[in-house]
Structure 1
Amino acid sequence: MAEEASSAPAPAPAGGKMTMVAGVDESDHSFYALQWALQHFFQPAQPQQYRLVVVTAKPSAASAVGLAGPGAADVLPFVEADLKRTALRVIDKARDLCAAAQVADTEFEALEGDARNVLCDAVERHHAEMLVVGSHGYGAIKRAVLGSVSDYCAHHAHCTVMIVKKPKPKH
């Protein structure tokens, strides 16, 4: 069943702050985007206009392994433990960045699923006005093969989507 986007603004959360969701993974690109958002929207001496929800997606162990061959089921607990450790490291790093930027009104979520769906669902669940994601800067072919989380979110999230690109090193 398809849902239609409402043109009515989302209700303001308690305290009147708008909500910003920031998607992070273990890439430098996503942490650059989070740092950029912290620097531009959460300046320490200014009152915070946004409540920040930092979200990371943890793929399921079954999707990571693919369950293709004999013995794959024996590997699942190890893969699951590794995926959980990775998600916790990502959240810990995001928590440290937010603390260093003195951002008080934050929430952190590590949710299982495909990053595209996890982020769009978080936007809906938190009634977010903005979603911030990084960009790996894939070309058209890689983007077509691998899929682009930022591209998907730009087309499917029901809020403003800010795609932050990490500057390329100058030669």
Structure 2
Amino acid sequence: MGSNRTVGIAMDYSPSSKSALKWTVDNLVDGGDRIILIHVQSGKSDHAQKKLWEETGSPLIPLEEFKEMNLSRQYGLTPDAEVLDVLDTVSRTKGVKVVSKIYWGDPRDKICDAVEDLKVDSLVLGSRGLGVIKRVLLGSVSNYVVTNATCPVTVVKGAVMSKP
């Protein structure tokens, strides 16, 4: 894909989304690239920021600001220490710029909206590994996004081991 790419990663801090992040860092991004973590909060959330940014999503949040603890109060989001460590490491060692953006609503729609809004070159997301019955009843975010996103989508299944 070349350098200076923008790679979106759908992040909900589940094991599968952490695997998607690790896979992206190990296999996809390089110096000059940008990672945008895409968070989708429940539409039922009542934070003041939701009322302000519900239609467009939050402003882009740089990694330095994202690491601050007031993020949970401001956006109702608590960053995971393991995720922050991976992001900090890729930022320092590979020179990858890392930002986050928070949306509110249905993850299927909002992830596809983010692809359009942020002009990502590629999107990576984890798969919860639902069985056929649960996938039919609950719907699969990854299936929906693969079908409807306007960029290439990589779905990472299961745990991904880091390179030695």
TM over 0.5, shorter chain: yes
1:146 aligns with 2:120: no
Contact 1:132–1:162 at 8 Å: present in 2 too?
yes
Residue 162 to residue 140, structure 1, CA distance change in 2 (3 Å): same
TM-score (norm 2): 0.69
Query: Aligned partners of 1:18 and 1:89: how far apart in 2?
Result: 24
- Match in the other structure for 1:60: 43
Identical aligned residues as a percent? 29
TM-score (norm 1): 0.66
1:164 Cα deviation after fit: 0.4
Residue 133 to residue 28, structure 1, CA distance change in 2 (3 Å): same
1:113 Cα deviation after fit: 1.2
Q: 2:83 aligns with which of 87, 94, 98?
A: 94
Letter in 1 for 2:79: R
Task: Give unmatched runs, 5+ long, in structure 1.
Answer: 1-15, 64-80
Query: Aligned partners of 2:116 and 2:41: how far apart in 1?
Result: 19
Query: Aligned partners of 2:141 and 2:117: how far apart in 1?
Result: 18
Contact 1:131–1:159 at 8 Å: present in 2 too?
yes
1:24 aligns with 2:11: yes
- Match in the other structure for 1:105: 97
Task: Give unmatched runs, 5+ long, in structure 2.
Answer: 47-71
Query: Aligned partners of 1:96 and 1:108: how far apart in 2?
Result: 15
- Give 1 or 2 for the bigger CA radius of gyration: 1
SS in 2 for 1:151: helix
1:39 Cα deviation after fit: 1.0
1:37 aligns with 2:57: no
Q: 1:47 aligns with which of 10, 27, 31?
A: 31
- Match in the other structure for 2:67: none
Letter in 1 for 2:100: F
Contact 2:34–2:98 at 8 Å: present in 1 too?
yes
Residue 33 to residue 62, structure 1, CA distance change in 2 (3 Å): closer
* CA deviations over 1:94-136 (Å, ceiling 9, x no partner): 3332112235311111211111111111110111121100001
Query: Aligned partners of 1:94 and 1:30: how far apart in 2?
Result: 10
Contact 2:127–2:155 at 8 Å: present in 1 too?
yes
Query: Aligned partners of 1:89 and 1:127: how far apart in 2?
Result: 24
Contact 1:112–1:118 at 8 Å: present in 2 too?
yes
Report the number of matched residues: 131
